[in-house]
Amino acid sequence: MTDEELMRRALDEARAAAALGEVPVGAVVARHGQVVAAAHNTRETGRNATHHAELLAIDAACRALDGWRLWECELFVTLEPCPMCMGAILNSRIPRVVYGAPDAKAGCCGSVVDLAALPFNHHPRVEGGLLEAESAALLAEFFAALRARRAEQKALGIPTAWQLRKARRAAAQAEHKEETP
């Protein structure tokens, strides 16, 4: 598969994330041009801060290839990796990372900081901008819809999912305090 085909596969994963209400980021680990693993964000549905597309794809690739060194693999991801994901990229020895849209808030391939340029023992080659417009549009559409949905909920007096979770936690803590002598 070509780089563009692999990034389009990552975009398919990002669309799957959006369909679940997740931030639309998708990742593909390829070896010799063939997909080894693909994943998308599941932080909300999995209720786990580490469920980024890159980490899930790297984990699946390690399992598929029966090893933690992915030195023959490449990572294609729709959004510039964050510090956590860049750490996994460095530790798994992925030699090449290709991303779509830059991330001005958390990107660690040059937008905020360039972790690949620091004196670690591994230095992946990083290429940004492949299908950037399509990746950025998917994110922009998702967040525009999310803001509109939240504004509508606020106008109707409907609590957000975050507010409901916060209320449940507060109730559970209050119940625990009552039970504790």
Q: pLDDT digit string (tens) for 48-99?
A: 999 999 999 999 999 999 999 999 999 999 999 999 999 999 999 999 999 9
Q: How large is the average pLDDT for residues 13-36?
A: 98
What is the dihedral sign for C-alpha 52, 54, 57, 59?
A: negative
Q: How large is the average pLDDT for residues 25-53?
A: 97
Kindly state the tokens that stand for 47: 């209720």
Kindly state the tokens that stand for 144: 């525009």
Question: What was the pLDDT predicted at 168?
Answer: 87
Kindly state the helix (H) or strand (E) to which residue 156 belongs, with its residue range: helix 132-156
Q: What is the pTM of this model?
A: 0.88
Q: pLDDT digit string (tens) for 119-152?
A: 999 999 999 999 999 999 999 999 999 999 888 8
Q: Using CA atoms, how far apart are residues 63 and 121, in angstroms rounded to an integer?
A: 23
> Which positions are annotated as active-site residues?
54
Question: What was the pLDDT predicted at 161?
Answer: 77
Question: What was the pLDDT predicted at 4?
Answer: 98
Residue 81: closest CA among 47, 121, 115: 115
Q: Mean pLDDT of all residues in the chain?
A: 95
Question: What was the pLDDT predicted at 180?
Answer: 67
Question: What was the pLDDT predicted at 181?
Answer: 66
